[in-house]
Amino acid sequence: MARTLITNGTIVSATGRTAGDVLVDGETIAAILAPGQVEALGITADRTIDATGKYVVPGGVDVHTHMELPFGGTTASDTFETGTRAAAWGGVTTIVDFAVQQAGQNVYDCLSQWHAKAEGSCAVDYGFHQIIGGVDEESLKAMTYLVDHEGITSFKLFMAYPGVYYADDGQILRAMQNASESGAVIMMHAENGIAIDVLVAQAIARGETDPMYHSLTRPAELEGEATHRAIQLAKVAGDVPLYIVHMSASEALEEVAEAQHRGQNVFAETCPQYLYLTLEDQLMQPGFEGAKWVCSTPLRTKHEHHQSDLWKGLRTNELAVVSTDHCPFCFKDQKELGLGNFSKIPNGIGGVEHRMELIYQGVVTGELTLERWVETCSTTPARMFGMYPRKGVIAPGSDADILIWDPGATTTIGVEHKHHMNMDHSAYEGFQIDGKVDTVMSRGRVIVEHDTYTGAPGHGRFVERGLSQYLR
């Protein structure tokens, strides 16, 4: 097995930074060496990578992506091949995607379909959460089986999208009780979908059909209300671990913080779009242009304090994780399905390539520490979803998933600059990042270096996950 030595870099973990060298032997990290030890011990390698002036960090772990997701009469534009290649370009070495079951479908059949989509296609390692869109006796039994036998230990439920994925409170409670017994995590899309559908119908009846009304008909109060309800149901279900996905609103964050202060196993993620993009600057662009930024939960107004609260939540661990909810659709022919009716616009923003970059910019601007960047983008996601210490840390015995980050270089995000997702636009067009992905290693194989992709489809393997390691 080939041995690679990464020398002269600053190794950054969730708990600190040290000068040192990393020895990779085959697919795993063999040793962390203090400066001078390589020479003193006479260690040799097949290849040496000089990381002088650069940060050596664990590869990114994005635990919320949707490759090839059917939605709104179309399918997300990234395949597992194109999406994981873009992830590699962004320093992400593990994704956790979502296998989808809807009411009346067999959970095992649906999971098999997602395995078939991903197997042999992925550039980086991948796992699955299971969406349970139809809660009944069979799907409840399947949940337990997947935890015990399939390495799938997290299940997503929806309080939104009636008629598609929606589960009522009784169904949610039953699924939570099941997860409480097996130790699984319940992931929740927390918006009051029944009330939202009323607001959407009323807006369209008034002729309010532009993309900005996607946000205005999904008010922050209904995200906060659903989050509160999910937390109470989780408490009744035996304090089941509850993970609120794609949080965008201060009202929802307050509910999570209160639950945490009571000692509940309640966690949350946010996404770069909610930290950087707004209703006014993006969704309200002239004509139909705002459709590019239609996602759920929606972008919020910049005239309230949602963004500053979310950044604060990341600093204080009220928000544990940054994911992307990567769900890309092209503007042409896909987003355009909603011309004249914002409710028909496929919901989703592409971002798997840019999460490490965008959150690092928060380090530059003083929102986060370097260590917290690593913690929220790599270490905690791996711990939260049962992949640590195989993933999310640079340590002996861990997979050699490594990002070498150059803080002295710059990155311009945009279709004509850095853009490898299978989309005809970028949600972050023109954004400047004070830093750059230099080299990316997945299980010991260099897959990005010198602005060149050197990976291959099929390198990525399915990760069987254990239970969450982040519970109180």
Q: What digits encode the pLDDT tens for the residues 139-149?
A: 999 999 999 99
Answer whether residue 248 shows pLDDT above 70.
yes
SS3 track for the chain: CCEEEEEEEEEEECCEEEEEEEEEECCEEEEEECCCHHHHHCCCCCEEEECCCCEEEECEEEEEECCCCEECCEECCCCHHHHHHHHHHCCEEEEEEEEEEECCCCHHHHHHHHHHHHCCCCCCEEEEEEEEECCCHHHHHHHHHHHHHHCCCEEEEECCCCCCCECCHHHHHHHHHHHHHHCCEEEEECCCHHHHHHHHHHHHHCCCCCCHHHHHCCCHHHHHHHHHHHHHHHHHCCCCCEEECCCCCHHHHHHHHHHHHCCCCEEEEECHHHHHCCHHHHHCCCCCHHHHHCCCCCCCCCCCCHHHHHHHHHHHCCCCEECCCECCCCCCCCHHHHCCCHHHCCCCECCCCCHHHHHHHHHHCCCCCHHHHHHHHHHHHHHHCCCCCCCCCCCCCCECCEEEEECCCCEEECCCCECCCCCCCCCCCCCEECCEEEEEEECCEEEEECCEECCCCCCCCECCCCCCCCCC
pLDDT given at position 28? 98
Residue 188 — pLDDT band, cuts 50, 70, 90? very high
pLDDT digits (tens, 9 = 90+) for 326-371: 999 999 999 999 999 999 999 999 999 999 999 999 999 999 999 9
pLDDT digits (tens, 9 = 90+) for 89-110: 999 999 999 999 999 999 999 9
Nearby residues of 438 by Cβ (< 8 Å), 6 or more positions away: 51, 54, 404, 405, 406, 409, 449
Q: Give mean pLDDT, residues 397-407.
A: 98
Closest CA to 274 of 240, 239, 245, 249: 249
Rounded percentage of the chain residues whose pLDDT exceeds 70: 100
Residue 207 — pLDDT band, cuts 50, 70, 90? very high
Answer whether residue 1 shows pLDDT above 80.
no
pLDDT given at position 73? 87
Q: Give mean pLDDT, residues 288-297.
A: 98
CA dihedral 442, 447, 450, 451 (to 10 degrees): -110
pLDDT given at position 16? 97
- What residue ranges define each of the domains in the chain, with the CATH number in brackets? 3-57+395-419+426-453 (2.30.40.10), 60-384 (3.20.20.140)
pLDDT given at position 472? 59
pLDDT given at position 163? 87
Answer whether residue 59 shows pLDDT above 90.
yes
Q: Give mean pLDDT, residues 38-45.
A: 92
Q: Give mean pLDDT, residues 235-240.
A: 97
Q: What mean pLDDT, rounded, does the chain reach?
A: 97
pTM of the model: 0.97
For 209, other C-beta atoms within 10 Å of its C-beta total 16
pLDDT given at position 172? 98
| Tokens standing for residue 22 | 């990393």
The rounded Cα 178 to chain-centroid distance in angstroms is 25
Rounded percentage of the chain residues whose pLDDT exceeds 90: 98
Evaluate whether 65 touches 127 at the Cβ level (below 8 Å).
no
Evaluate whether 77 touches 336 at the Cβ level (below 8 Å).
no
Sign, CA dihedral 135-138-144-146, equals negative
Which string of b and e fits 215-238 if b means at least 16 CB within 10 Å? bbbbbbebbbbbbbbbbebbbebe
Q: Give mean pLDDT, residues 440-448.
A: 98
